[in-house]
Amino acid sequence: MRQWEPRALPIDGPFMSLCYDSESHRALVSCRPGPNGSERSRLTLCKLKASVPSGEVLFETEQSFAGSARSTLMSRASWVRAPGASWVAAHSESDSTLFLHGLDGARTMSLPAAEPALDVCSVQLNGDTVVAALSESRLRLYKAVATSS
């Protein structure tokens, strides 16, 4: 019979969402902003590792990104991958923006998003990367367009 053991994350809440990427073994944890606008929400990227001698599961914090100054709705962050680049996507309610925070050398981008996104996901469609942001009343689709350098 298996035993399940709890493990604490190396970050404090209040938590809003958790998204795990099995390809990179990374967890993306989003936290609400502090009370009275004292601090912005944050996204924390953690790497899941197994300790070799003990087999214990560890989470190591890799990066953190500042988010929205306010959060009236629960909003989930997500992973976005395109050929040669990866991002974490999260809506900033106070900035009316969907931020794509660059990972592994990719640059951070901002996309206009007036309504708060409740959920964000990305898909590869016919070789194109499409990011979908779902609000209470609309679904916005953003297509990555290659630019010439």
Based on its alpha-carbon atoms, the radius of gyration of the chain, rounded to whole angstroms, reads 16
Q: Classify residue 23: in a domain, yes or no.
A: yes
Confidence of residue 146 (pLDDT cuts 50, 70, 90): low
* pLDDT score at 4: 82
Q: Quick: pLDDT tens for 6-65.
A: 877 778 888 989 999 988 889 999 998 877 667 889 999 999 887 667 667 778 899 999
Residue 54, domain extent: 15-143
**pTM exceeds 0.75 for this model:** yes
Which tokens is 34 given? 């502090």
Q: How many domains does the chain have?
A: 1
Angstrom distance (rounded) from CA 10 to CA 61: 7
Which tokens is 48 given? 């899941």
* pLDDT score at 44: 93
Q: Classify residue 3: in a domain, yes or no.
A: no
- Torsion sign over Cα 24, 39, 117, 110: negative
Task: Give 132's strand partners.
Answer: 121, 141
* pLDDT score at 105: 80
Q: Classify residue 4: in a domain, yes or no.
A: no
Q: Classify residue 7: in a domain, yes or no.
A: no
**What is the distance in angstroms between the CA of the first residue and the CA of the last residue of the chain?**
57
* pLDDT score at 1: 78
Confidence of residue 2 (pLDDT cuts 50, 70, 90): confident
* pLDDT score at 55: 67
pLDDT higher than threshold 70 for residue 81: yes
In this structure, are strands 42-50 and 26-31 parallel, antiparallel, or unpaired? Answer: antiparallel
* Higher-confidence position of 149 and 109: 109
Find tokens 């350098």 and name the residue: 149
Q: Quick: pLDDT tens for 91-132.
A: 998 899 999 999 988 889 999 988 889 999 999 998 889 999
Q: Classify residue 82: in a domain, yes or no.
A: yes
Q: Classify residue 125: in a domain, yes or no.
A: yes
